[in-house]
Each structure stands twice: as structure tokens, then as C-alpha cells.
Chain A
Amino acid sequence: MTTSSDRLVEISGLRKTFGPVAALDGLDLAVERGEVHGFLGPNGAGKSTTIRVLLGLVRADGGTARLLGGDPWADAVELHSRVAYVPGDVTLWPGLSGGQCIDILARAHGRVDESRRADLVERFDLDPTRRARDYSKGNRQKVSLVAALATDAELLVLDEPTSGLDPLMEEVFQQVVRERREQGTTVLLSSHILGEVEALADRVSIIRAGRTVTTGTLTDLRRHTRSAVRAVTDRAPALHDMPGVGDVETVADEQGRTEVVASVEPDAVGRLVGALHDAGIHTLTVTPPSLDDLFLRAYAGHDERVDAR
């Protein structure tokens, strides 16, 4: 296999300005075949603009973008038969029923798996006879999701797909995306719901103000981030000045039983646990960094750089 067939999305140095506003300012993104790629950033970071460039809706001002090995602007029509898209918020045809909207959207993309369509309508608990204008936001979103997920697309482009969905439906969404990945479908999942990305994504790109801040697998990203440690020990452990361990706080009661809070780098966990063991462990939790922590950290780091200028 060549590189181009393994990389369904390849973007480097992408730029796009709207009047005086630079929406994309040298953004990089690579999505490999078969992965769920989390595309993270706060509101206005450029996620939707990137997706619109990928879909040939918006023409980039600079940099390169390749979709499925082709040019997303010039080859839009051919490429789109292999892609399905769920926008963050779309007002469906108000006079048509949800079921009619699904058929129109799905058929526009070509191949529709009828049994999968029926299964999805059932699982998302959608009433297909109600008119789109009478749907709530969550139900409108379900229509877009069913239509995209019912196709045989190689690449699913999901732009904040679960906005408005309740937790039960969000669970259904995650199951369906996992099933599709097992069948070999690639997913670009743009979101600012970190729990969702953490649950689904193999790799993550975090962007800010039109630029990629960091990218990699969650394990990669965690490798550079400290875990949180909480423990209760019989005696005060000897933690001070231990390499790779920081933010140590200890509170001891009259019997000498000590509550310990600390943060630890991944390669110092063994050392730390050893020291706690020596102090007689009562309880111990080691929490790996959540995506929230990674996200905030990426942003904090960026802001420091800005401040340093």
C-alpha cells in the first residue's frame, strides 16, 4: 500500500481568511485509514472551516489539502461518493418528514444499506413520520446521523455530531461509531466534548486559533503528562526530592496516618508506589490524565508562549 491510500486526509499549512479574520493559520492534520481521529478545539478554532475545505465547499487561500488522495476542490464530486458528512447544525426541509429527509440525504450519497437504515432508526428511537419543522434539535441531529451512518462511505466526517443528543443517544452514537470502525470505516470526529473523543478516538489533533497545537494517540499525549496520585498511608512517606514527583501535599493526623496528594510523571510511578508501600498503604488511586487535562495543558502551554512574547 502506498502512503496516499493509507492517509485519507492530509492537510499541511492550510490557510483561509474571511476578510480580516484568519480562520485557518497554517493548520496540519493527517487522518489514517481505519482510525477514529478526534479533532478538538474550542468554538471558533477553525474546525468547521477545515471540514468545509475538505468537502470542497470553501476554497483554501494557502497550504495543501488532500482528501482520499484527491484535490477536495477540483475533484469534489468524485470524492464525495466515498464520504458522508454530518454537519453540526442543519435546518432540515421543514415540510418533509424525518424519514423523507433521511432518504434524500442518504440517497444523495449513493449506496444505502436498507437494513442498517432500519436498524439505526430503531436504535436512535426516531419517529420518521414527524415533520422536520416539529423536531427538537436532538431529533434533527439524529436524522443527519442516521442518513450518514446508513451509507457505505469510507470516510465519515462528523462535525460536532452529538450536539443536542441526550446521554442515552450519545451512548448509542458511540456504539454505532465503534461498529463502523470495526468494519473498517475511517472517522474524522470534530468535537469539543472531550469525553466523547476520549471514548472513541484512536488519535487526537488539538487545534487553536487555526493552528494545530498537538497531535498523536492518547497514550502518546499522556506519556508527557503527569498522573494524579491520592493515597492514605500509616506513616509519612519519603517523597520530597524524588525525581519525577511533584505537587506533593501531606496531611497527618495524631496517630501519624497521612493523606498524600501528588502528581507523577509516567516513568516515576514505580518509584513513587515503592515509597508509598514502604510507608504502609491504606488506600491508593493513580488517575491517568484525562483528555480535559491534556486539553487545558495544551492551551495553558500556548498561552504561556503568547505571554512570553
Chain B
Amino acid sequence: MSAATGVGTMTGIALRTGWRTLLAWVVGLVAVMVLTGSSISALYDTPEKLAGYAASLGGDALAVINGRVAGLDTLGGVLANEFGFVLSFAVPVMAIALTTRHTRREEETGRLELLLAARIGRDAPLAAAVLLISTAMVVTGAGVGAAMVPFGTDPAGALRYGLAVAGLGLVFVGVTAAAAQVVEHARAVWGIGLALTLVSFLLRGVGALREGALVWVSPHGWVDEVRAFGEDARWWPLALPVVLWAGLVALAVVLRGRRDVGGGLLRPRRAPPRASAALQTSLGLAWRQQRTVVAGWALGAAALMAVFGSLAQEIVDAVLDNPELGGFLGAGPEAEGRAADLVLAPMMSTFLVMLALLMSAYVLVAVGSWRREEGSGRLEVALSAPRSRSGWLGPRLLVVALGALVVGGVGALALGAGAAASLGDDAWLGEVTGAGAAQLPAVLVFLGLGAALFGWIPRVQALAWAAFAVAAVLAYLGPGLGLPSWLLDLTPFLAVGQDVVGQGPQPAALAVLTVLGLVLLAAGFVGLRRRDVPAG
């Protein structure tokens, strides 16, 4: 029996236990492209309108977020640009989520031990996971590419783009597979994967704005370098992610051979034998369980926002260099001021929406941990002490709210400070940070939604994630797709104001969202007081 015996069996098991999640990811990503395609092809239905698209972006400023997308005067290029943000985060997260699920998490729960005791070789689970999820990435890429063709894009360009999407996914399958051998716990694997996603995204953004070689260090940059819809399109950069993927998978196999099943390469450390007085309080314990998570998210938000902020001057320069926009704005210092109002303020507002998305995602991750408290039996133990249910939920809610504020505060300060330093104008620090506060009610709604679902029907807490995904896609794509404003108002992140830096928030929306959030929170308390623990 070789170490690879049973790859087929393991693939079957992985497919049997994970096909729903796998399918949801593939269908979800392709659906976003279908949605983008149907809206964009209706909005930009003539060559003239397409030609105007690039100008409407405010020059190269958006390259920070979407990279330098080739062929912006073709439908394919416009679609690729609109899909850019989804591609940058959803595709790597899909690879990380699925690969972690089928490697380290299986090992952590002990299920893998059970299977390795059967006729399954030691390398088979890893091989099966990589094989299955890599295939899923290729199918996703092919689906995204194929979804572009019916709207009238160049089929060869669509094929190149689809393969580039698949390539980005493959890189993160490799990254996750290797990380899963190094650390013992699924959470740490996630941390490594997300951190590398962020680094790659930032390198590509800086590289794209400066038109420098940095894009070549970033797997995100390779997608752009294929120039799928450009006149100078090329196939060879598609080989880069495949080579890196193969190298990372080989590394994972080697690392796996050097460790025990269930173990990692890094040994766990010892911990203090007694709990401090603070840790023995509800609040202290809740904070202790969240602090690493908060630190990770805050670090990510700070890095992302600091880079965005520090590019402010370059964004302004890019706008002024743009022949159409630059001419319209005139020259001299006043032109810079107008450029700041016209382009920079909406850009900063967009960055603040991204920050609010990060905060909300953190909130949902944190609320999801309550479900784990229940599933693990810790909630039962906690409630068997002289402590009411509200006395358990309250401190935890407080910690999550505090965590979200830390993530948001650090992020907004980094964005504002970056912009202020870049522009040499301290006023931006206060302006950006203050405007960022307008997104707090939007985040509160997701905290409330998570709490209400936990209180009433904890089994379907994933619904909160679904609502978040819809709100995020609408918030990011909505304005560009020209969707009706009532639809945009349904996503809390835009309802608070579509340009909170330039035009300020919508007070009525802030009030409505705050009340909605508080009502949902209260519902969460009521629900938890009434229901069985663990939920029947």
C-alpha cells in the first residue's frame, strides 16, 4: 500500500460530505458574473458608451482596487474591471475555505485519524483535497469565463480571463495546503491564507498605480498581466500560477511527510496554570476568546486602509494626468482641490464602505463563535453557574461591538492618516475618520441580525452571511451597474450615504438602521431567554 492509496476513496468522501458548500461557491461566483454581465451589457450597449467607461472611472485611481485591467474600451474589459473586487477576495477566500475544510479541519476533529486507520495512504487525503478543490477552481474560472460570452464579449478573451481567475484560485489552494501542514489548527491556517491574500492584493494595487514591477510579485497582478481583453493579450502569464501551485503542493507533500498525523511543524506552547482574576469574569473570558481574532482583523484593516490612504496624492495625480478629466479641472493648486472633491472624496467613501464590510465580516465571524460555544457544551456549563442568559450574552455582545470598533477605528485612522500624510493636509484625518462613523449603524444591523438569529434559530445562522454577501455585492457593484436607488438603499452600507466623505451621511437612514439594529439585538436577548440550550 503506497502513501497515495485511496485517493479515489478520499475524493469520494470529500465530495460526499462537502458538495453543497463546493457547489454554493461555484454557483455563487458565476452568478455574480451573470449579474454583472446582464447589467453592464444593458448600460454600455454602444461602442461610444464603452469608450466613455474608462473616463468615468476617474483615470487610473481605481487601479488601486481593481488593478490595471486591459481593454477597458471593450465589454470584456469592463466586465473584468467590475468583477475585480469579487475576484480579489472571493476567489482566494473560496480556495482557503474549501482547502482548510478538507485538510486541517478534518485532521483537527479526528475524523482523518479514523480514515487513515482504514486502507487509505497518508498522502491520500491531502492529494484528494488538492485535486478536488483545484478542479472546483478551474470549473469556477471556466464558468465565470463562459458567463461572459453570451453578453457579447470576445470568446478568446473570456477564456483567457476565466483561466486567469482559476489560476488565482489555484495559487491559494497551494498556499492553504502548505499552511495546513505547518500549523495545528484550522483557525491559524485561515489567518495565514487571509494575510497572504491581503499582501498580494496590496502589492498589486501599489504596483498598478505606480505602473511598477510590484505587480509581478503578486498572484493578483498575474491576472491583469494576461491582459485578457487587451490588444496585446498574451497566454504565457497563465503559466505562472500553475507553476506556483505545483510548487506549493509539492512543498505541502514534503512538509506532510515530516510530521505526525494531527500534529503541526510548530509545537504548541505551554500555558499558565492559573487564571487571572480578569479571566474569571464573563467579560474577561469573552475578551480573551476574541482578542486574537480582533488583533488579526484590525491588523488587516490597518494595512489595507493605510495603503489606500497613502495613495491619495497618487490618485489625485492620476486624475490630473487624465487628458479628459485634467482638462476639465484646469491646472494649478485649485485644480488639485477640485480633483480632491470630485474624485478623492468618493474614493475615500468607497474605501470606508470596504472598511465597513470588513467590520461586518468580523462581527459575523465573532457571532458565529457563540454557536461554537453552544456546540462544544461550554454554553451549558456557563449557564449551569449562577448566571442568567442575558448575563452570558451581554458581555459577549459588548466584546464583539468593542472588537468591531477597534477594527473600524484602527482602519479609519490608518486611512485618514495615510491620506493626510500623502496630501500634506491634516484636515483629511478628521474628515475621513468622522465620515467613517456614519457606517457604524450599518455594522450594527449585522450585529443585531447575528444576535437575533442566535437567539431564535441558531441552526440557520448562515443566513446572516447570505444577507451580508448580498449587501456586499450590491454595495460594491451596485453604483457601477446603475441599479435603481431603492435597491441600493437596501444595502445598509450605501443607505447611510453613497459618498459619506464628500456629501455627508443620510440622517434618516442612520436613525432607521440604528433602531433596526437595536431592535434586532433586543430580539436576540429575548430569544435566548426563551429557547432550549442546546437548541433542539
Instruction: Give the interface of A toward B (CB within 8 A).
Output: 18-19, 52, 55-59, 76-81, 83-85, 87, 89-105, 107-110, 128-131, 133-134, 144, 157
The 4 tightest CB contacts between A and B, nearest first, are: A97-B271, A103-B275, A108-B385, A99-B273
Tell me if B16 counts as interface (CB < 8 A to partner A).
Answer: no
**B387 near A77 (CB under 8 angstroms)?**
yes
Q: Flag if A19 contacts B272 (CB, 8 Å).
A: no
Is the CB of B533 closer than 8 A to any CB of chain A?
A: yes
Q: How far is the CA of A105 from the CA of B275 in the complex (A)?
A: 10
Interface residues of B in 237-277 (CB under 8 A from A): 268-275
Q: Which residues of A contact B380 (CB under 8 A)?
A: 52, 55, 57, 85, 87, 90
Q: Are A92 and B385 in contact (CB under 8 A)?
A: no
Q: Which residues of A contact B292 (CB under 8 A)?
A: 95
Return B180 CB to nearest CB of chain A, in Å: 16
Do the beta carbons of B275 and A104 come within 8 Å of each other?
A: yes
Q: Which of B376, B378, B386 has the most CB of A within 10 A?
A: B386
Is the Cβ of A104 less than 8 Å from the Cβ of B279?
yes
Query: A59–B384 contact, CB under 8 A?
Result: no
Contact (Cβ within 8 A) B185 A90: no
The yes or no answer to B377 lying at the interface (CB within 8 A) is yes
Given known contacts A57-B384, A57-B532, A110-B386, is B185 in contact with A100 (CB within 8 Å)?
Answer: no
B514 at the interface (CB under 8 A from A): no
Are A85 and B275 interface neighbours, CB within 8 A?
no
Q: How far is the CB of B261 from chain A (nearest CB, A)?
A: 15
Assembly CA distance A85 to B271 (angstroms): 25
Give complex CA distance A81, B386 in Å: 5
Which residues of chain B have a CB within 8 Å of any CB of chain A?
A: 185, 268-275, 279-280, 285, 288-289, 292, 376-378, 380-388, 391, 532-534, 536
Selected from A77, A92, A100, A131, the residue in CB contact (under 8 A) with B275 is: A100
Q: Is the interface of B mostly helix, strand, loop or mixed?
A: loop
Q: Decide if B185 touches A133 in the complex (CB within 8 Å).
A: yes
A residues within 8 A CB of B376?
A: 90-91
Cα-based distance from A18 to B383 in the complex (angstroms): 21
Query: In the complex, are the beta carbons of A91 and B268 less than 8 A apart?
Result: no
- A104–chain B nearest beta-carbon distance, Å: 5
Q: Measured between alpha carbons, how far is A127 from B269 in the docked complex, in Å?
A: 14
Contact of B533 among A57, A78, A108 (CB under 8 A): A57
- A108 contact set on B, CB distance < 8 A: 280, 382, 385-387
Taking CB atoms, residues of chain B closer than 8 Å to A94 are 185
Cβ of B288 to closest chain A Cβ, rounded Å? 8
**A87 CA to B383 CA, complexed, in Å:** 12
- The smallest C-beta distance from A273 to any residue of chain B, in angstroms, reads 51
CB within 8 Å for A91 and B377 given contacts A107-B280, A129-B270: yes
Q: If the complex has contacts A52-B380, A57-B383, A104-B279, are A129 and B532 also in contact, measured as CB distance less than 8 A?
A: no
- Can you list 6 A-B pairs, Cβ within 8 angstroms, ordered by A? A56-B383, A57-B384, A80-B386, A90-B378, A99-B274, A108-B387
CB of A92 within 8 A of CB of B378, answer yes
| Contact A130 B270, beta carbon cutoff 8 Å | yes
Does the CB pair B377–A90 fall under 8 Å? yes
Contact A18 B273 (CB under 8 A): no
Query: Cβ of B381: which chain A residues have Cβ within 8 Å of it?
Result: 85, 87, 90, 105, 144
Give the distance in Å from the alpha carbon of A144 to the alpha carbon of B268 in the complex.
22
Residue in contact with A103 in the complex, picked from B185, B274, B378, CB distance below 8 Å:
B274
Taking a contact as CB atoms under 8 Å apart, the answer to whether A100 and B268 are in contact is no
Given contacts A79-B386, A104-B285, A110-B386, 15 further A-B contacts (CB under 8 A): A57-B383, A58-B533, A58-B536, A77-B391, A78-B386, A80-B383, A90-B377, A90-B378, A95-B271, A99-B273, A105-B385, A110-B385, A131-B270, A133-B185, A133-B268
Bound CA span A102–B273, Å: 9
> Which residues from chain A contact B387 at a C-beta distance below 8 Å?
77, 80, 108
B282 to chain A: closest residue by CB: A108
Q: How far is the CB of A54 from chain B (nearest CB, A)?
A: 10
Find out whether the CB atom of A103 lies under 8 angstroms from the CB atom of B279. Answer: yes
Q: Please give, as numbers and ranges, the residues of chain A lying within 8 Å of B536 by CB-CB distance.
A: 18-19, 58
Which of B377, B381, B386, B533 is packed against the most chain A CB atoms within 10 Å? B381
Q: Which residues of B contact A99 (CB under 8 A)?
A: 271-275
Q: B386 and A77: CB pair below 8 A?
A: yes
Closest to B285 in A: A104
- The answer to whether A89 and B377 touch (CB under 8 A), given A108-B387, A109-B385, is yes
Q: Of B271, B272, B288, B388, which contacts A76 at CB under 8 A?
A: B388
Indicate which residue in A79, A89, A93 contacts B289 across the interface (CB closer than 8 Å). Answer: A93
Name B270's contact: one of A18, A91, A97 (CB within 8 Å). A97
- Chain A positions within 8 Å of B383 at CB level: 55-57, 76, 80
Chain A residues near B279: list those with CB within 8 A. 96, 100, 103-104
Complexed CA–CA distance, A108 and B280 (Å) = 7
Q: How far is the CA of A133 from the CA of B376 in the complex (A)?
A: 12
Contacts of A96 in B (CB 8 A): 271, 275, 279, 288
CB-based contact B273/A97 at 8 Å: yes
